[in-house]
C-alpha cells in the first residue's frame, strides 16, 4: 500500500511539471564498425500530463554490419515500443524517465532469420546546464527474457539553440546475445558514434 502511494505521489508531482502535451521527434545516423557502416535511426515520443497513464515512444534503428573473417552480414534492425513515466521533468534541471520497452527485431544473420521480440527495462536521465541550451545524459535499455541478453547503452549531448529544434550527438553500444532463433544463436556487439537532429514541441 505504501509503495503504491509513493508511486502515485511521484507520478502526480511529475505531472505537475509536465507539458500539457509534448511531442518529440529525432532522426540521424549511427556510425559503427570503425566507420565502415552507416545506419539510420528515427523516433517519436508523445508525452501528456495524465497521471498513471504512461507516455509512449516508438523508435526505429537500422542495425547492419559485417563481422568476422568471413565478413558475415548481420542485420538486427529493430523497432522499439516504449511505455514510460516521467519522474522528473526539468525539476532542478533534471529529467528522469523509466519504463518498459518491447524490442521487435526484424533481421538476419547471413541466410538465417532472426526476427523476434524481447522485453527490456528502460531508463533515461539528462541534466540541463542552467542558463544554456546544452544538456547531457544517457539512456539504458536492458533485458531480453529467458532466451536473450540485450543491453543498449547511449551517452548523448543535446544542444537546442532554437525553441523547437536542436542537434544531438554521442556514443552507443548495443550488445546482443540471443539463443533459440531458428535453432541457432549469436552474440554480436555494435559500437560507434551517432549524430542527428530533433524537434521538441
Burial 23-37 (b: 16+ CB within 10 A, else e): eeebebebbbeeeeb
Residue 75 and residue 61 in contact, taking contact as beta carbons nearer than 8 Å? no
Query: What is the model's pLDDT at position 182?
Result: 56
Torsion-angle region of residue 199: left (phi > 0), alpha (psi -120 to 50) or beta?
beta
Query: What is the model's pLDDT at position 69?
Result: 72
Q: Any idea which fold 2-200 has?
A: Lipocalin (2.40.128)
CA distance 150 to 128: 29
Q: What is the pLDDT of residues 75-113, one digit of tens each?
A: 999 999 999 999 998 788 999 999 999 999 998 888 888
Query: What is the model's pLDDT at position 51?
Result: 84
Domain ranges of the chain: 2-200
Query: What is the model's pLDDT at position 181?
Result: 56
CA distance 56 to 38: 27
Q: What is the pLDDT of residues 153-177, one digit of tens each?
A: 999 999 999 989 999 999 999 999 9
Residue that the C-alpha cell 554490419 belongs to: 65
Amino acid at each position: 500500500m505504501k509503495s503504491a502511494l509513493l508511486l502515485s505521489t511521484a507520478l502526480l508531482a511529475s505531472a505537475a511539471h509536465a507539458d500539457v502535451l509534448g511531442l518529440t521527434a529525432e532522426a540521424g545516423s549511427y556510425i559503427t564498425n570503425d566507420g565502415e557502416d552507416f545506419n539510420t535511426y528515427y523516433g517519436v515520443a508523445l508525452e501528456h500530463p495524465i497521471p498513471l497513464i504512461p507516455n509512449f515512444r516508438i523508435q526505429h534503428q537500422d542495425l547492419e554490419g559485417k563481422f568476422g573473417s568471413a565478413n558475415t552480414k548481420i542485420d538486427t534492425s529493430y523497432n522499439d515500443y516504449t511505455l514510460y513515466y516521467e519522474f522528473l521533468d526539468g525539476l532542478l534541471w533534471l529529467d528522469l524517465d523509466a519504463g518498459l520497452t518491447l524490442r521487435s527485431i526484424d533481421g538476419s544473420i547471413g541466410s538465417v532469420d532472426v526476427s523476434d521480440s524481447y522485453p527490456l527495462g528502460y531508463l533515461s536521465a539528462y541534466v540541463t546546464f542552467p542558463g544554456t541550451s546544452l544538456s547531457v545524459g544517457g539512456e539504458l535499455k536492458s533485458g531480453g527474457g529467458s532466451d536473450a541478453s540485450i543491453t543498449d547503452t547511449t551517452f548523448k549531448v543535446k544542444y537546442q539553440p532554437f525553441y523547437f529544434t536542436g542537434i544531438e550527438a554521442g556514443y552507443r553500444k548495443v550488445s546482443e546475445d540471443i539463443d533459440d532463433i531458428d535453432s541457432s544463436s549469436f552474440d554480436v556487439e555494435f559500437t560507434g558514434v551517432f549524430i542527428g537532429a530533433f524537434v521538441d514541441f
